[in-house]
Amino acid sequence: MVELKSDAALDAMREAGRVVADALAAVRETAAVGVSLSELDEVARGVLTAAGATSPFLGYRPSFAPVPFPAVICASVNDAVVHGIPDGYRLRDSDLVSIDCGAVLDGWAGDAAVSFTVGTARPEDTALIDDTRRALEAGIAAAVVGNRIGDIAHAIGTVARARRYGMLEGFGGHGIGRRMHEDPHLPNEGRPGRGYPLRAGLVLAIEPMLIAGGRDDYSTDPDGWTLRTNDGSRAAHVEHTVAITEDGPRILTLP
């Protein structure tokens, strides 16, 4: 069931979104050659705790997962697209890192992701991250009253395919509110004018995930969570929580 949020609820979600933005900023500031992914998770935990927020990631176990997720961030490096579990891996020069983080504050959730490089950036990684951001911006621009879910999906997919990127088949964004994952599902590719109509009060987590190699296939690591490209090509993932309003899209996870 799709729930439309009141203005007061959107304001509350904005506060949760600020916590997410602060956690991502702190993680990005800490990330450097030699820092472990588990250390980045501890940084995010500290931000959430200081804000009085909890993590919707920690302990989350969807039907596909063999174990509950053990961290407050997803940390995906290089050919890991999404859902990477933070561990003892220490960042190396030129790594491409995607960090996904959520927060629940006063009963409302926020969800966002960033991708960045550590140390010396490879030009092709910079281009991949920039294009993934462009896909997100295109999706947000289509998130207006009167459009449909398919319009957002089409906007994201058009940017991705024009640059010959692959995408995770079957994965995309989602509704968000009291729970991190709500209806409707938001594909990263689709036909315009199709799908659920966008109404004021609908809140969506919009999250393109682009794969440099151009293929859509992937494999799941033995941990049951990490989704990794089959050809070893790198990937980027960016995300914002966005509210549909009569005045246009309102991004709730900006700093």
CATH code at position 11:
3.90.230.10
Which pLDDT score is estimated for 106?
98
Cα gap 112→137, rounded to integer Å = 14
pTM of this structure: 0.97
Which pLDDT score is estimated for 36?
98
Joined together, the tokens standing for residue 175 give 């509704």
**Domain for residue 1, yes or no?**
no
**Domain for residue 145, yes or no?**
yes
Which pLDDT score is estimated for 128?
98
**Domain for residue 96, yes or no?**
yes
Joined together, the tokens standing for residue 93 give 């020069």
**pLDDT tens over the chain, length 255 residues:** 999 999 999 999 999 999 999 999 999 999 999 999 999 999 999 999 999 999 999 999 999 899 999 999 999 999 999 999 999 999 999 999 999 999 999 999 999 999 999 999 999 999 999 999 999 999 999 999 999 999 999 999 999 999 999 999 889 999 999 999 999 999 999 999 999 999 999 999 999 999 999 999 999 999 999 999 999 999 999 999 999 999 999 999 999
Cα gap 177→195, rounded to integer Å = 20
β-bridge pairing 172-175 and 166-167: unpaired
Which one, of 239, 231, 223, lies nearest residue 70 by Cα?
223
Which pLDDT score is estimated for 169?
86
Owning domain of residue 86: 7-251
Decide if 71 contacts 41 (C-beta within 8 A): yes
Please give the C-alpha separations between residue 127 and each of 124, 134, 210, 212, in angstroms, as whole numbers: 5, 10, 11, 10
**Domain for residue 168, yes or no?**
yes
How many independent structural domains does the chain possess? 1
Which pLDDT score is estimated for 113?
99
Handedness of CA 136, 113, 91, 118 (dihedral sign): positive
Q: Please, which residues bridge with residue 50 across strands?
A: none
* Residue whose tokens read 């960016």: 238
Report residue 76: phi and psi, to 5°.
-115, 125
Contacts of 11 (CB under 8 A, 6+ apart): none
Which pLDDT score is estimated for 247?
98
**Domain for residue 2, yes or no?**
no
Handedness of CA 209, 213, 217, 219 (dihedral sign): negative
Cα gap 64→41, rounded to integer Å = 23
**Domain for residue 14, yes or no?**
yes
